[in-house]
Amino acid sequence: VISIWTEDLIDTLKGLLAKGFSSSGIAAEIGTTRNAVCGKIHRLGLNGGDGSRTFVRRTPEEKEATKRAKMERRNERRRSQRVTVVRVRQVNLEALRCVEVIPQHKSLLELDADGCRFPYGDGPFTFCNHAQHEGSSYCGPHMALSRRRMS
Ligand SMILES: [Zn+2]
């Protein structure tokens, strides 16, 4: 048997393999059979390139297990995120009860149409932005505060 594999051809084979060609693709490129290419890849110890022979095939059970593990991790992440959100909200509510109102510190542009316009800081101002008390541009606590100030 005369080997078709010249140095040049082996280089070409390696090049095509590196580009991700399959053995049948390489066979078509260099004009030989897929079996010849597979055998050469094997003899050269160049694994990869041919999915059907050189890649480890995973059984459906293994794939299923991987998928389950992935879902489990995702659920785990979601659960921990949810817990964090709930905790933050509780803390805020408690703080609100203590000091009456916590300003949201919104800029004039971010301010809601019905947000409390009680200013904080000494320019650029930030605003409270809690829901306005009826007939006022301030929320309840800030309306009371501004009235106390005026009198
Ligand atoms: Zn306010």
Q: How far is the CA of 109 from the centre of ligand 1 (A)?
A: 16
CA of 91 to the centre of ligand 1 (A): 19
Centre of ligand 1 to C-alpha 120, Å, is: 10
Q: Give the pLDDT score at 2.
A: 66
- What pLDDT is recorded for position 81? 67
Using CB atoms within 10 A of its CB, is residue 28 exposed (0-12), middle (13-18) or buried (19+)? middle
Please tell me the predicted confidence (pLDDT) of residue 82.
Answer: 65
| Single-letter code of the amino acid located at 114 | D
Joined together, the tokens standing for residue 18 give 């590196």
Residue 49 has a pLDDT of 46
Q: What is the pLDDT of residue 117?
A: 93
Three-class DSSP category at 131 = strand
Residue 94 Cα, ligand 1 centroid: separation in angstroms?
17
Torsion-angle region of 110 (φ positive above 0: left; ψ -120 to 50: alpha; else: beta): alpha
pLDDT along the chain (151 residues), means of 10: 82 92 91 90 73 58 85 80 57 46 90 92 88 92 79 56
| C-alpha 61 – ligand 1 centre gap (Å) | 59
Cα 130 from Cα 114, distance rounded (Å): 8
pLDDT confidence of residue 48: 52
Report the chain's terminal Cα–Cα distance, integer Å.
Answer: 110
What's the length of the chain?
Answer: 151
Distance 115 CA to ligand 1 centre (A): 8
The CA 117 to ligand 1 mean position distance, Å, reads: 7
